[in-house]
Amino acid sequence: MNVFSKITGTGSYLPPRRVTNQDLTIQLAADGIETSDEWILSRSGISARHFAEADVSASDMAVIAAQRAIEQAGLEKNQIDLIIVATSTPDHLGGFPSTACIVQKKLAMNNCAAFDVQAVCSGFIYAVSIADAMIKAGTHKNVLVIGAEVFSRILDFKDRGTCVLFGDGAGAVVMSASKQPGVLATKLHADGHYSHILSVPGKAANGAVQGSAFVQMDGPAVFKVAVSVLEKVAVEVLESANMTAADLDWLIPHQANIRIMQSTAKKLHIPAEKVVVTVDQHGNTSAASIPLALDCAVRDGRIKAGQTILIEGVGGGFTWGAALIRM
């Protein structure tokens, strides 16, 4: 008998501190950096984002999102047999112990494997693909997949080209073994030749950071690559399932920039009303953006059981990927 993986629960968490474009404009002006609500909104579609307090880590937010996803799935914590956390902002320098292991500890779970995935803004897609493969292989039955980020910690607030774009948050799904198809197809890609256009180039050495510990981005180059690869990977994953964009109920792209999202939808001939958009209120939350948007649309009733969604993301590395899912 074939075994499939299916999303059985979703959850998310945003830190309480909501930072509007006007709030940022005032903060940046104090350092002589000029910007405005209109400037930010016209270039990104972002009106606000959430920033975590200084004592809140990626694992703290991940735990809350995970608890909500597990509850919605109708499971007990001890039924989870694998935790995968996608993050570029792990709790510890060097990424160990993994944020997934810290989440496991905070959830008081000790009967499952746990590890992190680093593919930046594509991390959640990568993690879903790994979970799907492991469930289909029969090695795991209930996998907790989380995207969690505290990008506010790696933003240079003297660089208005990046600091206005990102936010903090976490999103999670429970993926369970099922007799009915859930994840219909996944496609993953990477091209390290573009690694220089979006990165945090600093390195740890001798107890100090060498180089910059802040996000650096060539905006026009990122935009050009993102628009190109997102259309291609969407077509690729649809074709692998013998489907077309017309078969989709919803498109949930990585919430990076409204212009990238609109361009991708237009190329795929997907109407705007079928695109889930949260970038206006969340900003770019990297690996957390897709599960945050998914949970929002599930809980407000837009996404219903039996519907078909396409999730896709692109991030530093350069990495990109897509997953076709029946809810």
Q: Catalytic residues, which ones? A: 121, 254, 284
DSSP string for residues in 34-59: ---HHHHHHHH---EEE---TT--HH
First to last CA, the chain: 21
The contacts of residue 157 (CB under 8 Å, 6+ apart) are 27, 28, 31, 33, 163
State the DSSP string of 160-210. Answer: HHHHTTB-EEEEEEEEEEESS--EEEEEEEE-GGGGGGEE---EEETTEEE
Contacts of 161 (CB under 8 A, 6+ apart): 217, 219
Q: How far apart are CA 85 and CA 70, in angstroms?
A: 15
CB 305 within 8 A of CB 189: no
- In sequence order, what E strands does 206-261 have? 208-210, 216-217, 250-253
Contact 207, 230 (CB under 8 A): no
Q: Which residue has the tokens 């996998």?
A: 143
